[in-house]
Amino acid sequence: MSIKSAQKSEIAKCCHEIVLASSLSAKSIYHKRGYKENEYHMIKTENNDYLCYDIMKKPV
């Protein structure tokens, strides 16, 4: 789901950046929209699998 222009305008009224968690499959989409990786996280699940995601940021 993308953040629409109207939503960005509302965010810009009170915040200086947008921060989101991105899956690997969505990462390239957010790169194209100007977001940059800030952190990388891995969470071990009950089945010994890993949930991996990036925290991405973009100035408003």
Summarised one tens digit per residue, pLDDT across range 14-59 is 888 989 999 999 999 999 999 999 999 999 999 999 999 999 999 9
Cα separations in angstroms, 13 against 5, 18, 21, 29? 13, 12, 22, 25
Sign of CA dihedral 28, 41, 53, 58: negative
Determine the pLDDT at residue 26: 94
Phi then psi for residue 17, to 5 deg, are: -155, 160
Rounded Cα distance between 53 and 5, Å, is 25
What pLDDT, on the 0 to 100 scale, is given for residue 28?
Answer: 95
Tell me the residue range of the domain where 32 lies: 5-59
Tokens linked to 10:
């509302």
pLDDT score of 56: 97
Provide the number of structural domains found in the chain: 1
Q: Per-residue pLDDT for 7 more than 80?
A: no
Q: Pick the more confident residue, 2 or 8.
A: 8
